[in-house]
Each structure stands twice: as structure tokens, then as C-alpha cells.
Structure 1
């Protein structure tokens, strides 16, 4: 059962059903986990599975990450893991976490703790705790503050997280103000869980998000980016994004998106860009494929490009003399803004370039139906899209949100025709890897050149011919190149 199938009814599930789900799921725990529980118990220490794995088990999802907590200090934990037979690592030891691997099973065990940020600091200060209940109290939300003790598999739920999950509400174990003050990243996690679980957020949490949104400025860009990525690929990203905008969190994390609300036009001279963008996101998600398709969902690049595709509009909006509104070059402006924001959030280079390129290209199709494109124009469209062609198909289709049925049908028919022509040309010419009919070595031999700028110019000329006329063959290409280079025939 997928997460989406489960969370569709999360607010309607009763706690007894969720508990029954967990019992079935934990009955299938790897034997090594139970054995590890015995190792700790025999040494006089507590061990419990905690957080996400427990929450997911309530939703009939088999845990793949085994996050464990204990009253043993890190050095002791490391020794007990070795006794269990694991290879260990201590990368997170400063934060009380020791990792281990036995066979194909990986675990992370963290000493009971509390953590808080010092004023102005980007790194949490860690203090060890002594009780499981105390450790659960410092967790972010009640739905994540449940534990299953090992090896006896008993539920510990001091904050009624199971009932909150059944009711479909996100609360904090302590006051939301205190919780977010301890760790401001929880503000982003609230939005992420709204998107991931399809869950409502309590008024207490919403108020604290509004009051403390500015404290996200002390959290590292990498941690914020990680939460944003998880939100975007969740089953319900719109819920999380709307919550971020409503509480002002988006003004800190993704101000270019929240700024789209500024384009609302009380005279209705153009569509609501903010609502349009959320609709495009929904439509793009609906166009994702299964694992065997070209864009398996959930796909971050597709979704984030849909979210950012019109962020250049506020900066380019112009009221024309005839009463219309224009957003000239918002695609190029938006691409620059997207690249800048993604760099600030420390996204990897490839993802940044891919999303920015899709933002830049999202208008390329416009005008196709008004004036038939030449084969050369179709080739350029495919060449410019490159490996992002299937993504561009989906962004372009998702961007058609008009309520005018005749216009929608017209655009749908036009794009279907473009896809057909691309397919036909691809079959004829292997369009994915367009190259001139002569390579660099052949150009140099024919023109008597050595490596340098002149070879590049000749190569570009042949590529233009290839785009314009399709495959020419080496003999014809050589003939035209000589004429261009002014070599007597």
C-alpha cells in the first residue's frame, strides 16, 4: 500500500485500526532488530524504535530506516553494536548518534537527548537525557513522538500521537512556541508533514510558525533545502506550500513564490498567477509516469520547475496603453531568479541547471499553432530541450490552465501535433543526438586546419545546415563546406 493510498483517509482512521496496522508491520521486523534489542536489554540498557518508522507502521508502511534511541551513552552504544556483530561508524557521535550495519541491515542509535539552538547559532546544542518519555517530549510532533520498545514491542505514547494521527492533526508534544524555539527547522517540518501526510495543522502550530518564521534564518541552507525537497516530492505538496505562504515561512525560504500573490489584479486583466502556479503544479504531478515511464513520479525537477515557471512575472508585469497586461521575457528573468534561489539553498549544480532551463524554455511552444513550424524549428526545439524534452512536454501541457474549452482543445491539438512531428523526425534522424555530417577531425583535414576557433566556426556552420535541412551525407556536406570556406571547386 502506498503512502498516498494510506494518507487519503488518515483523518478518518481510528486509533485501534492504526494500532492493528502497526502490530502486523512489526511482526515482520527483521530478526536482527529483535536480536539487537536483546543485546541492549541483557547489558541493562533500554532500546526503542522511534519516530518515522513507528508512525509509518501505523499507516501499514514497512520501515526501511531504523531509527533507534537508548539510554546508553555513545561509547557504550558503539560497543554493544560491535557485540551484535555490526560494522560501526561514529560520524554523528557529537550529536549522540552511532551507526551500524549487520548483513543488509543499517541502524542508527541515538542516546536520549534534548537539543536547542543558542541565540545566533546555526548548530544545535546537544544534552543527553535519561528517560524515553523525556526523549519523546523533545521530538518535533506528537505523531513522531511514539516509540516501540525492543525486544518486547511495547508502545510508548505519552503525548497521544497515535490518536492525533487517527484524527489527522499535527501537534507538538510541548507548546509549539517552545518546540520551534528549541529547533526552528521544525517550522519547515510542519509544512513538510502537512504535504507528506495530508494532515491538518493545529492552530497552535500555525500561530507559532507565523511568530517564529524569521528564526529559520539561523538554520543552515542545506537543512532547509532538504525539508523543501521532501515537501515537494510528497503526495500533497500544495498543502505544504499554501501553509508556508499563509504563515510567512515562504517569505523566508522561497520569497519568489510567495511574491506571486502580488500579481493579483483586482480588475481581472490577467489570471491570478499564484493560483495558476499551484494548478500547474497539480497538473504536472498528474503527468508523472510510473517507474517504466520517462518521468517517474515523484520527480523533484518536474515539480519544482512547475512551481518556479512564472516567478519572473512580478518583475516584468507591465500595464499596456490598450489596457492589457504583459510579462515580456518573464521566462528568462524567471530562469535567472530560479538559478539564484537554488544556489542560495545549496542545490546541486545539475538539478539547478535543469530546473532553470525548464523555466527558461517553458514558453518555447507558444505560437506553434498560430504558424506552422518548419522541420528546422522542430529540430531546434528538441535540441534546446536536450535530455529535458519529456519534462518540457509536461511543463508545457501543465501550463495550459485556461477555462476556455475551445482554446484548451486548440492548444492540446497543437501540442499533440508537435509531439507527432518530433516522433516522426526522431525516427528519421535519431534526433536525440544531432551532429553535423562531418566531425572535427574531418573538418580539419578537409580545410587544412589545426585545432582552434576556425574549426568551431566550421562545425557550427555544418550544424546549422543539419538543423535546417536534415542529414546531408558527408559528400554533400563537404561540398557545401568548401563553398562556405571559399575553396575553389
Structure 2
């Protein structure tokens, strides 16, 4: 619960910070208005540390640049057409010097044609008009500086106290202006732990198809921001419940498989959200204070998306999902590519999904050292993420089974650590490289070299370190038998 007196005191502290005072004084001296707006004001009131300084002003971009240039060590105008100028401002001296990045935007009074995602940019002259066009009331508060006056024409303080997301104008108008705001509602609900007002959720459901006019790149960015919040599963639920996920990430609502009175299996949709939550728990435990791991979170959410396509109702009431790991990997690759994720993210998520069942063979029987080496080799630099995903995938309520699986994975990790210490598993390679193979076999470059290298690598994984002399002898024997 927000204490209003403490929130106002935090706003005063924010306004008194050196970087805010320096910028505010410069704009006041130039006869221009200046206000902190949006996220910094909201976060200060909530007691969340403020790292971004977003300002709005009645000055036009050229004048903004003219005012901030003497104060800053660097400026950029990549957002000039939208009225935004960025600058790096240093306060203090010597060891006490601190550099902050600020963004200052001219009041906006945009219009939208309702057919494309792009606004017709128009600059305004009145702060209240600028605030009206913002996404949610809690982001439509401004703090005038340097005189420190809170401007809240749309009841943002009340909604902050109620922990509720509402829109400054009607949600139909707001989402009509920019449909991506519907996804932002899901993100802020997760990020802030707020409820979404009924009328806002109703509008999201009614207007969900309009998200299709938003570019894949913008949808991807918003989805990534949602997944990188502390508790994204609530936002995912909102996207599914309103029908937005059917358009932007249809594989997730597809996890809500129909039940059959004669065949029973766990709720795959609920299981996937639990896995996402548990993966974040493992991530936080292993890397406290670290940056959110988007790859792990995408893999956790999507790890079972191959199940709908592979579900088979077996005799006797059993249900199978054979090869859902392979099918899911392909589906994830296709969806993430459509959302314009970068190739490294796509490749990593798909590989984790493909490998996420591998461990369960270990829990059913002891693996040889060779099998452990292959597990490490196949995971490569995704090994730690695979550890977290596999542990998160255990959602059984049967405590004995959960304890058995946890013990088995503890044992597997211990064996991996032991083998890595002995053999540096992460860099497993045959004792002979391609050039040495050519010399030993007396042949030139060609497919035979690749075949020989793979044979030597399998030998290395099966038997461990052989030494160059033994590897050479075994290679010659293999080559002689393959020529026979």
C-alpha cells in the first residue's frame, strides 16, 4: 500500500536531485516549462529506484538541443521527428561525479488514423493535452520542476493507491490510438502487480484483432519486456484471457487442451506457467540481482508447445506426447522468427526446448560417463540454462517423486562438475584436428576428414581422454576397416 505522505516526500527528493535541478534551472532560465513525466514520477511514488529521467517541455526540439548542449557531454537527436532529444549530463566533480542520461520531449498532441500503427506527429503547447494522450493514468502524472508541483488531471494518484490500471481517455480511444497499449497493460500489470480495470480488460478483449496492425518488431519488444518482469505469468494470463495471445503468440493458448472423460493428463497450460515461474526462481537463486534471462524465460513458456500436435489418446486412458520436444523446437523457431527475434535467441530457445526432456532418461537409470559427456556437449553454452529449465519442469505434487527427481539432478550436476574438473568437458574435442587427420591418413581435404573427425569425437565421448598416440592408432584401424 502506498503511503501518500512518503510518496510526496520521495517526489521532492527526486526533484531536488542534482541532475533534475541542473536541467530544470536551465529550462526555467530559458523561459520554458519542464516536467518529469511518466515512469520516473510513478516509480518515485511507489518507492522504486529511479534510473531514467524522462522530461516533457513546451520547447521545440531545436530549442531543447540549444538548452541542453552547454550542460551535457553528449547529445543525440535520433528521436527528433517525435520531439525527443537525449543528453548525458554530469553532476559533481572528481570521484563524486555522476553521469545521467536524460530524454526531453516536446509536448505532443498526436493524431492517429486508426489504420496504421504510426501517429501523425503534432507538437503541443499544453502539458494537460500531452498527459491525456498517454497510455495509463499512473503514467500520466507529471512533476513540474523546479517549482515541484504534481500535475495529475486523470486521477493517476488514486489509481496508484488502488493498484489499478486505467486509461486517461476511454480505453477504446486509447487502444484505437495505439493497439500496442493492450500489450503494455499486460506488461504493467505484471511489472507493478496491479489489477487491470474491468472496462480496460473488456476493451482489450473487444479490440484484440487490432493488434495485427502493429509491427512484429514492436510486439516482440513488448513481449520481451513482459517476460523480463519479476512475475510475468499474470501478464501472460491476461493476454490469453483477452484473446491477444491468439494473435501474437497462439501456441500458448493452444496449450489449453480439451479434456477427455476417459483420458487424463496434467493441464499443460497451467504447467507451462508454473514452469515459467519456477525457472525465474532458479534464475534468481543462481544469479541474484542479475539481468533477467529472456532466453530461459521464453524456453520455459514455450517448452511444451509441441504437445497439442503430438497428443495421442492411448488405450486404457493413457495419453502420450511422443516427440513433442522436437516438434516444439520447430514451432518455437517459426514463431520467434515471425516475431523478429534475433537469430541467437531463436537458436538458443529452440535448442533448449529440443533438449528439455533429455534428463528424464537419467532419472530412470544410471548414465555412463559417455552419456554425461554427450549431455554436456549437446547443451554447449546452454548447459546452465538447461539445468534451470529441467529443474523448473518438475511440477508434480507428489513429494516423493519431486524429491527423487531433484536428487537425480543433483547427482547429474555433481557428475558433470567432477568430469569437467577431470577433462574440461566444455572444450571436448578429439586429440587429432583436421590437419593431423589428413597427415595420419595420407589424404587431402574432403568429406572423409569430417567423417573421421566425427568418429574420433564419438570415441572421445565414449572412452574419455585417449592421448594422441592411442587416438592415432585407433584412427588408422578405423580407416583400414572402412576401406576394406
1:83 is displaced (CA, Å) by: 4.1
Question: Which residue number corresponds to residue 281 of structure 1?
Answer: 276
Residues 163 and 260 (structure 1 numbering): CA distance in 2 closer, same or farther, change over 3 Å? same
Local SS of the residue matching 1:287: helix
User: What is the root-mean-square deviation of aligned Cα atoms in Å?
Assistant: 1.9
Q: Which residue number corresponds to residue 173 of structure 1? A: 168
Unaligned runs of 5+ in 2: 91-98
Task: Tell whether the 8 Å contact from 2:114 to 2:176 is kept in structure 1 after alignment.
Answer: no
Tell me the secondary structure at the aligned position of residue 366 of structure 1.
Answer: helix
In structure 2, relative to structure 1, the CA distance for the partners of 1:336 and 1:116 (3 Å cut) is farther
Distance of 2:377 and 2:290 partners within structure 1: 22
Q: Tell which deviates more after alignment, 82-91 or 474-483.
A: 82-91
- For the 8 Å contact 1:313–1:330, the answer to whether it is kept is yes
Indicate how the Cα distance of structure 1 residues 272 and 147 shifts in structure 2: closer, same or farther if over 3 A, else same: same
2:189 to 187, 190, 194: 194
Give 1:66's aligned residue.
Answer: 53
For 2:386, the equivalent position in structure 1 comes to: 392
SS at match of 2:110: strand
1:215 CA displacement: 1.0
| Counterpart among 323, 330, 344 of residue 350 in structure 1 | 344
CA distance in 2, matches of 1:266, 1:149: 62
Distance 1:329 1:377, change over 3 A: same
Distance in 2 of aligned mates of 1:409 and 1:171: 44
The CA distance in 2 between the partners of 1:264 and 1:303, in whole Å, is 27
Displacement of 1:35 in angstroms is 2.0
Displacement after TM superposition at 1:409 (Å): 2.0
Give deviations 1:97-120, integer Å, cap 9, x for gaps: 122223423221111113343233
Q: Does 1:150 align with 2:142?
A: no
CA displacement at 1:256 relative to structure 2: 0.4
TM-score, normalised to structure 1's length? 0.93
Write the mapping of 1:3-42 to structure 2, written as runs, cut at 5 A. 12-27=1-16, 29=17, 31-42=18-29
> Which of residues 209, 212, 216 is equivalent to 2:207?
212
Equivalent residue pairs, number: 474
Provide the residue aligned with 2:120 in structure 1: 125
Aligned ranges 1:229-248 → 2 under 5 Å = 229-248=224-243
Residue aligned with 2:257, SS? helix
Of 55, 74, 78, the residue aligned with 1:87 is 74
What is the aligned counterpart of 2:85 among 90, 98, 103?
98
Superposed displacement of residue 66, structure 1: 1.3
Dislocated runs of 4+, deviation >3 Å: 24-27, 83-87, 263-268, 289-293
What is residue 36 of structure 2 aligned with on the other side? 49
Partners of 2:15 and 2:21 within 8 A in 1: no
- Aligned mate of 1:440, from 430, 434, 441: 434
Q: Which residue of 1 aligns with 2:94?
A: none
Asked if 1 retains the 8 angstrom alpha-carbon contact of 2:296 and 2:389, the reply is yes
Deviations 1:309-361 (A, max 9, x none): 00111111111133211111111111111111111111111111111111111
Write the distance in 2 (CA, Å) between the matches of 1:407 and 1:477: 43
Native 8 Å contact 2:112 2:118 kept in 1: yes
Q: Does 1:360 align with 2:354?
A: yes
Is contact 2:88–2:100 with CA below 8 Å preserved after alignment?
Answer: yes
Q: Quick check: 1:224 aligned with 2:213? A: no
CA distance in 2, matches of 1:289, 1:139: 33
3-state SS in 1 of match to 2:360: coil
Q: What are the Cα deviations for residues 212-235 of structure 1, in whole angstroms up to 9, with x where unaligned?
A: 111111111111111111111111
3-state secondary structure, aligned to 1:126 = coil
The answer to whether the 8 Å contact 1:14/1:163 transfers is: no
- The 8 Å contact of residues 122 and 218 in structure 1, kept in 2 or not, is answered as yes
Deviation at 1:22, TM superposition (A): 2.6
Of residues 377, 394, 404 in structure 1, which corresponds to 2:398? 404
2:300/2:389 contact within 8 Å kept = yes
**Shift, 1:241, TM fit:** 0.7
Q: Distance in 2 between matches of 1:335 and 1:164?
A: 42
Q: Normalising by the residue count of structure 2, what TM-score does the alignment of the two structures yield?
A: 0.94
1:418-437 deviations in Å (ceiling 9; x for gaps): 11211211111111110001
Partner deviation per Cα, 1:178-237 (whole Å, 9 max, x = no partner): 111111111010000001001111011101111111111111111111111111111120
| Unaligned ranges ≥5, structure 1 | 1-11
Alignment-derived partner of residue 157 in structure 2: 162
